Structure 1
C-alpha cells in the first residue's frame, strides 16, 4: 500500500532504529508479540486480570530470551472488552492505534524526537491510559504529536506545559498496574497528526466506524522507530 504524505514525513525523520525506552535495550532485545483476538494462547489466561496478563508477558519474554515485547498497531483485541470505556455495544472500540512496549515497571521512557510538553494528565479510569504525556513536535513548520501512556504517577511530577525535551532524554517511566489503568506494565506510544484540542488524552483504540480517520491521523509508529522497517 502506498504511503500517505504524513507517513512519508514520519518515515524520513529517522534513519535507523530509534529508541523510545531505556537505551540499554538494543534492537536485539525486542521481540514482536501477537495480542490480537486470533491468538489462541490468550484463551488460556484471564485477560481481565492485569496480574494474569503480566504473567503471560513475562513467560513470553523468558521463553524467547528477550527483554521487551512490542507491537499492536491496528490489532483487534479482546482485551478492551473488560472496560466500559471501550465496550459500548453500539460502537465498540477494539482496534489498537498505537504501538505497545511491554517491559518492567520503572523502565525509562524517552522522547523519541525533540519536542515540548503539549499537555499531560492522569487518565485514571479503569482501562484508561493512567498518567499520560503528549509532546508537540515542530519541524519546518509542520506540527504533530507523540503520546506516551501508562506511565508512573511520578512521571507527571514537576512537568510544565512548554517544557522542552531533547530526543533520547528521559521524560518518564512505566507505571505499575495500580497506577497505569490496570494493565501489565507497558508503554502505549502513538503518533498523532491533529490533536483536535485534546488535553493530556487522545483515543488510542478505535471503532470500525471511525477507523479510516484514525489511520490517516495516527500512522504506524514503527515508521519512526524502525524496529520492523
Structure 2
C-alpha cells in the first residue's frame, strides 16, 4: 500500500504515533478496552478485520462483522481533526445501541480525487461544531470523542472510514458481511493510504 505523502494530510487524532495496534480478530472485550483507555492507553486498528462476537446489535443482522474503517481508541473528549481541507456535507445522531452516535461526514478533494470521510462515535457537541456546509482546513476540529452514552454505548473511540462514493447521508456500513467484502473494499479504501502506518 502506498502512503500518499502530502503536507496537507493532518493526523485525525493527536498522539496517533503513540497508538498501540489493537487486533480484535480473536475477540472483543469492552471491559478490558475501557480499562486500557481509562489508564491513558491509546490504540488503533481494524481495517478489513473480521471481528467475531463484537457486532451483536439487531441492525448488524448477525452477519456483518468485517470492519471497513480504522478505530482509534482514546479517552472521551479527545479532539478529532479534519485530515485535509474539505466541507461538512452530512451530520446525524445515530443514537441506537451499537450505532455511531454523533456522526460527521466531510467531502475532501485529495490529489484530484473526491473522497468522503466519516467520523463516527463523536459527542453530541460535535454536531453543533460541524454543521453541513461548513468549510474546514486540514487540522481544524471536527469534534470530540463521545462518552458511551452518546456514542452508541461503545468504549470511547473514533471510527474513521473513507468512501470513493458519496454516501448521500451521514452513514456508511462500518462493517459488512463476508458476501459483501470484496465489493466494499473497492468502495471503502484503507485510510492508511492517507494517514500512513498508524498501526
- Give the whole-Å Cα distance in 2 for the aligned partners of 1:26 and 1:81: 25
Q: CA RMSD in A?
A: 2.4
The one-character-per-residue Cα deviations of 1:89-126 (angstroms, maximum 9, x if unpaired) are xxx11100000000000000000111100110001121
Residues paired across the two proteins, number? 199
1:158-169 → structure 2 map (5 Å cutoff): 158-169=129-140
Mark the runs of 5 or more structure 2 residues left unpaired by the alignment: none
- Return closer, same or farther for 1:200/1:61 CA change in 2, 3 Å cut-off: closer
Q: Secondary structure at the match of 1:183?
A: coil
Matches of 2:97 and 2:38 in 1, distance apart? 28
Q: Distance in 2 between matches of 1:152 and 1:221?
A: 22
Mapped pair 1:204 → 2:174: yes
Q: How does 1:109-128 map to 2 (within 5 A)?
A: 109-128=80-99
Find the counterpart in structure 2 of residue 56 from structure 1. 32
Query: What secondary structure does 1:82 align onto?
Result: coil
Q: Does 1:186 align with 2:143?
A: no
Does the aligned pair in 2 maintain the 1:73–1:96 contact within 8 Å?
A: yes
- Whether the 8 Å CA contact 2:44–2:198 is kept in 1: the answer is no
Could you tell me whether the CA contact under 8 Å between 1:17 and 1:226 is conserved in 2? no
**Higher relative strand content:** 2
1:96 aligns with 2:72: no
Is the contact between residue 195 and residue 202 of structure 1 (CA under 8 Å) also seen in structure 2?
A: no
Aligned to 1:30: 19
Alignment correspondent of 1:75:
49
* Moved beyond 4 Å, runs of 4+: 15-18, 58-63
Per the alignment, in what secondary structure is the counterpart of residue 161 of structure 2?
A: strand
The answer for the alignment partner of 1:135 in structure 2 is 106
**C-alpha distance in 1 between matches for 2:82 and 2:88:** 10
Structure 1 length-normalised TM = 0.78
Per-residue deviation, 1:221:
0.8
